[in-house]
Structure 1
Amino acid sequence: MTAARSGAAIRMPWAEPPAFGRPLRVAEAIHWVRLPLPMALDHVNAYILEDEEGLTLVDPGLCDPATRSIWTALLDGPFAGRRVRRVIVTHHHPDHVGLAGWFVSDHGAELMMSRTAWLLARMMILDVQERPARETVRHWRRGGMAPDILERRRNERPFNFADVSAPLPLGFTRLGEGDTLTAAGQQWQVRMGAGHAPAHVTLWSSDAPLVIGGDQLLASISPNLGLYATEPEADPVEDWITACTRLLDCARDDQLVLPGHKLPFTGLPYRLRNLIDNHHAALGRLTDFLATAHSAAECFDLLYRRPIRGGEYGLALVEAMAHCQHLHHRGIAWRRERADGAWIFGTGPAPQGSPGPSG
């Protein structure tokens, strides 16, 4: 595909989403289904692709009674008699992979996802914890988590993937960069995203201006770029910017993007540049702010410009850590451990005895 460079603004063909569980046809043999989530972001988008061999489902949502009921009603109603032959999962997060194992065990579906996503999801579903792991608590402390929140969280049961995810099968079909598959009478090419989740699958039709974007390609929100205890020296912001820049080469203004959340849209080249520019702008503000050294948690007001409360806190913390870490890896900020265990980052002169930008 040749990338369009006109930079047309984002357009949303549907002003409102369909009601939960009511399929909406968005292209020939492709249906959009909105599924509920029990959190501030209260939904995830799933897609049903029809062809003569059966149904291919993309990102079937959480494994909970409400979502299973929706799928049961769909398969008993508008899609009655159609076999679910495949489930494609764009990335390992439970709102996307949660019900995939159920479709494999109860419907005989083939599971398709990237190897990294399968390994992460299967590991995290099997790793049930009654209290946060020592590494997780240390990571929260490194982020500068408020002491009262840290004390509460270390003594309560954490969120476990297994709470909302069916067991994944031992075997799966791997999707990788450049692979192709056929669904809804079209050929789709796999292109990988990164940053929000490693080895994030996106699907690009070779026969129509259609892209299934998962959480890599969203119109009105930016996906969380978090630094987690599982890989504390990672640089998800760099991974994200690199992936968005790479995907620009195959983006066109006329492509209808079917995202993991919010509304489908066109104007993908503009949106990718907008996402890249937004992070560069945040990094510029952060560089100036860190002329006086701060922990990641002390950067909330600068980065988010609104109060961070409740369930948002953990996501805000890991994203702030990721942006500070990016400046550290780029050699723009130094990093050292404060007496309370928090990492502090600075772009001004480093304190005596502090490691330099790459230390």
Structure 2
Amino acid sequence: MTETSLSQPPDRGETRRGLHYPLGRWHPEPGDLHEVASGVFWLRMPMPFSLDHINLWILDGGDHWTLVDTAIPASSCKDVWRGVLAKLLAEKPVGRLISTHYHPDHLGLAGWLCRKTGAEFVMTRTEYLTARMLLGDRREEPPEAAMRFSEKAGYSRAQLDKMREDGWGRFASAISPLPDEYTRIADGDVLTIGARRWRVVVGSGHTPEHACLVDDAGTLMIAGDQVLPRITSNVSVHQTEPMANPLGDWLDSIERLRALPNDLLVLPAHGFPFHGLHERLSQLDADHRHKLDMLRRYLADRPRTAMQTFEILFGRQIDDREMGMAVGEAMAHLRWLEDAGLASRTVKRGAADLWQA
């Protein structure tokens, strides 16, 4: 495919924290497509959040295009996609759309894009069914399980009242109606797309069955949110499964991903393409283990609620917009310590749980 309206990337990459960024800080402008490797195009989609973009990938399948991830169903994102689709469809059809996982920035426009293009929708089963479950869960008030989960984490009475006022089911407003059918992919599957063979490598912790795509021969990895170069993916316990240990799943996934070659060019969902997979995995592992060690020592001083651990885990004030993610992440670290026998909790009806080393 001919690139259009592209500024030129720098001649040399840059290295930071043991990682090498072949393109440095350069990225394509919205709506432009940059060929990072033969038949693999980078679309950087702006989003109206503090995390202000998502990287989407377009793969040349020879007689069709394959899209990887979608962005959210905002009018600005649809406008960018309309321009991109006009370029793509002028050459050949879009035959397939793959979502790496169920979060709205990766899935939000899947239904809209599939309806516009007739593309086959592809996803892992757990991610698809999780999205279906959340789409069907819209209520005027949060379920009692959610209220109880927040109360046990340390929410104040005012915060609980605000939860009730806000209603339940915001996920549905962040997703266009999903396709009614999908094609399942699973760990170890191989997708032949044009001249490349992409192996499905599943990670867990951020979401239950996150699909990465690895082209071993071409030394490429479409990593989604499973490996990001500059920020750490949120790992949370949710009210639907309060006794889960997602941080254990995340750390186990890091160990499995170490089996991949270190010379892969990693194409992440946020940030910049980079080399140095093993270095980044080690950084992610060390960051969480450092937090676990600090948290264990913090809980040795006196019992704390989950929300009282924010100062040690995050080192700053958490605002209302971040509260749900912060509670989920704090609970993930506490549950890991509990499962490891390094922390226990005292449960009292109608009050927050107290955790201690």
> Residue 344 in 1 paired to residue 354 in 2?
yes
Aligned positions of 1:326-345 closer than 5 A: 326-338=336-348, 340-345=350-355
Structure 1 runs (4+) greater than 3 angstroms displaced: none
**Distance in 1 of aligned mates of 2:140 and 2:229:** 37
Distance in 2 (alpha carbons) for counterparts of 1:37 and 1:147: 34
Aligned ranges for residues 28-67 of structure 1 at < 5 Å?
Answer: 28-67=38-77
**Residue-by-residue CA offset, 1:227-283 (whole Å, 9 max, x unaligned):** 10111110010000001111101131x211011111111100011111111111100
Q: 1:261 aligns with which of 262, 266, 270?
A: 270
Instruction: Work out the CA distance in 2 between the residues paired with 1:141 and 1:36.
Output: 36
Amino acid at match of 2:283: N
Are residue 278 (structure 1) and residue 287 (structure 2) matched? Answer: yes
Supply the distance in 2 between the matched residues of 1:294 and 1:251 (Cα, whole angstroms). 42
Question: Aligned equivalents of 1:270 and 1:284: distance in 2?
Answer: 21
Q: Take 1:281 and 1:132, find their aligned partners in 2: how far apart are those partners?
A: 34
User: How far is the alpha carbon of 1:197 from its aligned partner?
Assistant: 0.3
Provide the residue aligned with 1:135 in structure 2: 145
Q: Within 5 Å, which residues of 2 pair with 1:135-214?
A: 135-158=145-168, 160-214=170-224
User: CA offsets, 1:311-343, max 9 Å, x none?
Assistant: 122211110111011111111111122464212
**1:353 aligned residue:** none
Identify the residue that residue 22 of structure 2 maps to in structure 1. 13
Letter in 2 for 1:225: V
Write out per-residue CA displacement over residues 110-159 of structure 1, whole angstroms, 9 at most, x where no aligned residue.
11110000100122122223332221111111211244333212211345
Cα deviations across residues 147-204 of structure 1 (Å, max 9, x unaligned)?
A: 4333212211345222121222232111111100012420011111000000110111
- Residues 233, 188 of structure 1: CA spacing in aligned structure 2 closer, same or farther, 3 A cutoff? same
Question: What is the CA–CA distance in structure 1 between the aligned matches of 2:50 and 2:22, rounded to whole Å?
Answer: 24
- Residue 239 of structure 2 aligns with an amino acid whose one-letter code is A
Amino acid at match of 2:153: G
The alignment partner of 1:103 has SS state of helix
Percent of aligned pairs with the same residue? Answer: 37
Unaligned runs of 5+ in 2: 1-16
Deviation at 1:206, TM superposition (A): 2.4
CA distance in 2, matches of 1:74, 1:220: 27
- Give the corresponding residue for 1:126: 136
State yes or no: 1:222 paired with 2:232. yes
Greater Cα offset, 219-228 or 70-79? 70-79
Give, as a single letter, the amino acid of the residue that structure 1 aligns with 2:123: M
Of stretches 157-166 and 109-118 in structure 1, the one that deviates more from structure 2 is: 157-166
The residue identity in structure 1 corresponding to 2:79 is S
Distance in 2 between the 1:217 and 1:46 partners? 15
SS at match of 1:231: coil
Partner of 2:320: 310
Q: 2:344 is aligned with what amino acid?
A: W
Structure 2 residue 113 is the aligned partner of structure 1 residue 103: yes
AA at the equivalent of 1:272: L
The 8 Å contact of residues 135 and 169 in structure 2, kept in 1 or not, is answered as no
Task: Provide the TM-score with structure 2 as the length reference.
Answer: 0.91
- Letter of the 1:216 counterpart: Q
Q: Tell me the equivalent position of 1:3.
A: none
User: SS in structure 1 opposite 2:55?
Assistant: strand
2:243 is aligned with what amino acid?
Answer: E
Say which SS state the counterpart of residue 19 (structure 2) adopts: coil
For CA contacts below 8 A with separation 6 or more, give which structure has more relative contact order.
Answer: 1
Q: TM-score of the superposition, structure 1-length normalised?
A: 0.90
**Contact 2:134–2:169 under 8 Å retained in 1:** no
**More moved, 338-347 vs 259-268:** 338-347
CA contact (8 A) 1:114 1:175 kept: yes
> What one-letter code is carried by the residue in structure 1 that aligns with 2:229?
A
Native 8 Å contact 1:145 1:317 kept in 2 = no
Please name the residue that 2:332 is paired with: 322
Give yes or no for contact 2:65–2:88 (8 Å, CA) kept in 1. no
Deviates more, 1:297-306 or 1:57-66: 57-66
Question: How many residues are treated as equivalent by the alignment?
Answer: 339
Instruction: Give the secondary-structure state (helix, strand or coil) at the position aligned to 1:189.
Output: strand
User: CA distance change for structure 1 residues 40 and 310 in 2, over 3 Å: closer, same or farther?
Assistant: farther
1:231 maps to 241
